[in-house]
């Protein structure tokens, strides 16, 4: 038995473990495996087409009859100042030269990657039990429509103020994302790369501030972290990096090897690839771009300038955007279902 059952009572699953929706890394096989094991699998979407999302959901539903989560970004339209774009191009010239590129892209237009009316219409059609958001929420009408259709809403908060705003907006569960988490921070506003609240401090303050259930995220890698989350008042956990070592995940060999040799201090938050703070493995490019805290183009525009560097760098790590959290050194390489059961056994023994 679990000390708090808000999460499992709400969704009817067995274990209060949500596999984080890591866009680009999650697969339908991972989602189904986690859900079948009693957790909640999550599919993360950024630039995925509506048709592909529909196809994914059909495949997942063939693989499992258990609840799963669909996740979307909900960020504002980028407002890019011409002088910021031009100064960024100047800063990138030596990096481009190093990898043998001569031309820095002039066209910085890019699909928004955010939640659209088209995606809302799809969700109202397919009616997933769980829908989650990152970087804030879509408009009130969208949330109202999703809830009326039977979907429960989860959203990330990186501060207590954000969690309170989510509760007031009708969210069913707050995911309290600590500083340690890998990937993009769910902050509503873009903060400096060195700003954030750790999970140990964040979770109990959010629990005290809101009446809706709170799920802990960030730096949770094993049963010890799960047990600790319950002691802090959470009703469950969301874990991303821990699942990156499962065979069902879509990651490169370089990414997996980086996790294998990872340390607690080998990542940092950076805007250098996407324009929003994301925790990734440190490299020379990230360190150099962070040196003077100069502004960068908004998310996701910055990708148009950083993508050529990543693509031209081949297997070198100097320009890789390898996302994982501070607890990656605790990862175990095993199938997702086995990992869920291992986590459950470890946590329940401690609790």
For residue 303, being part of any structural domain is answered with: no
Q: What is the CATH number of the domain that holds 16?
A: 3.20.20.70
> Could you read off the pLDDT of 2-14 as tens digits, one per residue?
999 999 999 999 9
Tens of pLDDT, residue by residue over 105-159, are 988 887 778 899 999 999 999 999 999 999 999 999 999 999 999 999 999 999 9
Q: What is the pLDDT of residue 107?
A: 87
Burial 77-116 (b: 16+ CB within 10 A, else e): ebebeeebbeebbebbeebbebbebeebeeebebebbbbe
In 3D space, the residue among 69, 56, 337, 64 whose CA is nearest the CA of residue 215 turns out to be 69
What's the rounded Cα separation, in Å, for the pair 78 and 268? 24
Rg (the chain; Cα; Å): 19
Q: Which residues of the chain have pLDDT under 50?
A: none
**Domain presence at residue 308:** no
The answer to the question of residue 307 being in a domain is: no
Does residue 70 fall inside a structural domain?
yes
- Look up the domain containing 138 and give its range: 6-77+113-261+327-350
Q: How many CB atoms lie within 10 A of CB 126?
A: 15
Let me know if residue 282 belongs to a domain: no
- Give the pLDDT confidence score for residue 346 in this predicted structure: 98
Q: Is residue 288 part of a domain?
A: no
**Domain count of the chain?**
1
* Per-residue DSSP letter, 245: G
Give the pLDDT of residue 108: 87
In a domain, 96, yes or no: no
34 domain residue, yes or no: yes
Number of other residues whose CB lies within 10 A of the CB of residue 249? 18
């Amino acid at each position: 038995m679990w000390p708090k059952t808000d999460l499992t009572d709400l969704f009817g699953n067995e274990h209060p473990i949500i596999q984080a929706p890591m866009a680009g890394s999650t697969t339908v096989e991972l989602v189904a495996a986690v859900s079948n094991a009693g957790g909640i699998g999550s599919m993360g979407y950024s630039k995925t087409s509506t048709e592909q999302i529909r196809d994914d959901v059909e495949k997942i539903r063939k693989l499992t009859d258990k609840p799963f989560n669909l996740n979307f970004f909900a960020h504002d339209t980028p407002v890019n100042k011409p002088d910021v774009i031009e100064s960024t191009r100047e800063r990138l010239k030596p990096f481009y030269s190093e990898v043998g590129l001569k031309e820095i892209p002039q066209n910085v237009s890019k699909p928004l990657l955010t939640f659209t009316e088209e995606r809302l219409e799809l969700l109202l059609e397919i009616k997933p039990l769980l829908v989650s958001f990152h970087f804030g929420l879509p408009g009130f009408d969208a949330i109202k429509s999703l809830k009326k259709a039977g979907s429960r809403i989860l959203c990330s908060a990186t501060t207590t103020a954000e969690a309170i705003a989510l509760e007031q907006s009708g969210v069913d569960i707050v995911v309290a994302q600590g500083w340690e988490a890998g990937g993009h921070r769910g902050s509503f506003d873009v903060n400096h790369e060195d700003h954030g609240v750790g999970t140990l401090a964040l979770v109990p303050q959010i629990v005290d501030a809101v009446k809706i259930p709170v799920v802990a995220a960030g730096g949770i890698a094993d049963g010890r972290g799960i047990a600790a989350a319950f002691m802090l008042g959470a009703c469950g956990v969301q874990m991303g990096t821990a699942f990156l070592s499962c065979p069902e995940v879509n990651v490169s060999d370089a990414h997996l090897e980086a996790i294998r040799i990872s340390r607690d201090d080998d990542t940092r938050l950076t805007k250098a690839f996407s324009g929003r703070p994301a925790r990734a493995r440190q490299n020379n490019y990230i360190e150099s771009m962070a040196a003077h805290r100069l502004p960068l183009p908004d998310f996701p525009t910055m990708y148009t300038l950083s993508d050529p560097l990543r693509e031209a760098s081949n297997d070198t790590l100097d320009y890789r955007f390898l996302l994982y959290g501070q607890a990656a050194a605790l990862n175990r390489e095993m199938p997702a279902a086995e990992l869920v059961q291992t986590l459950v056994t470890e946590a329940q023994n401690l609790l």
